[in-house]
Amino acid sequence: MLHIVRHALQLYPDAVAEQEQCVAQIVAGTAGSTLILTEHPPVFTIGTSGKMGDVKSRIVDGDMIEVYPTGRGGEVTYHGPGQLLCYVVADLRRDKNLHQHVWRLEEMVIVTLQHFGIVAARSSRGIGVWVDGLKIAAVGVRCRKWVAFHGVSLNISPNLKHYQGIVPCGMADAPVTSMAALGRTVLRREVESVVQDAASQLFVV
């Protein structure tokens, strides 16, 4: 069974520390794969392919936004209130297929959005989940000793103006959207319920 952890709000460094602990426990054989559902105060994170130059401003729409380099793959992205972070700490030592893991993360979101009447898909523009050419979920992962962590962020109703402070995922045209922007007003707990069901089917432990 996939272990589920929920946090109402969590500082980004605390979320990374929690995942690191989960990775260590899986490697030690004392825990199994875990799905952490959480939310962060406004923060820009810089992945291993990103650069500080893609952070254009730390003050956006009147809000001061923290910046953290992080070990996940990908470039610069935004996390903040109204966005559901789905961190999947998964034991891949049996199949050792990171591409399949990323596919599962994307599929988890695609299935979730379908439940709410939103047709989403993958795109040749890059990994993540897209709706009509706009990115609604960003994916970034890291793998250590074939245990994957980090995961996917799904835009439910974040302040999309905050994306103006960065070049999101290296795309200067900043093609982002959210469930709210698409006319779907839903509560985080409703989305979490569907995500949990999808994850339990996709990430078999």
pLDDT tens-digit series, residues 38-53: 999 999 999 998 889 9
Section 126-152 average pLDDT: 96
Mean pLDDT throughout 66-95? 94
* pLDDT number for residue 1: 82
Instruction: Please report the pLDDT score of residue 159 as a whole number.
Output: 97
**Total structural domains in the chain?**
1
143 catalytic residue (yes or no)? no
Domain of residue 9, residue span? 3-202
pLDDT band, residue 74 (cuts 50/70/90)? confident
Q: Name, in order, each residue with C-beta under 8 angstroms of 34's C-beta and a sequence gap of 6 or more.
A: 2, 3, 4, 5, 22, 88, 89
Global pTM?
0.95
At residue 21, the pLDDT reads: 97
Q: What CA–CA distance (Å, rounded) separates 99 from 43?
A: 27
User: What integer is the mean pLDDT of 144-173?
Assistant: 92
Average pLDDT over residues 108-119: 98
Q: For residue 178, is pLDDT > 90?
A: yes
Residues 56, 166, 9, 107, Cα dihedral to 10°: -170
Percentage of residues in the chain having pLDDT higher than 90? 87
What does the pLDDT read at residue 174?
65
pLDDT reported for residue 205 = 55
Residue 74's CATH number: 3.30.930.10
Provide the pLDDT for residue 190: 98
DSSP one-letter code for 168: G
Residues 6+ apart with CB under 8 A from 46: 52, 54, 55, 67, 68, 69, 70, 75, 76
**Active-site choice (22, 86, 143, 169):** 169
CA 138 to CA 126: how far, in whole Å?
9
Average pLDDT for 152-156: 98
Q: How many residues does the chain have?
A: 205
- The pLDDT score that the predictor gives to residue 171 is 75
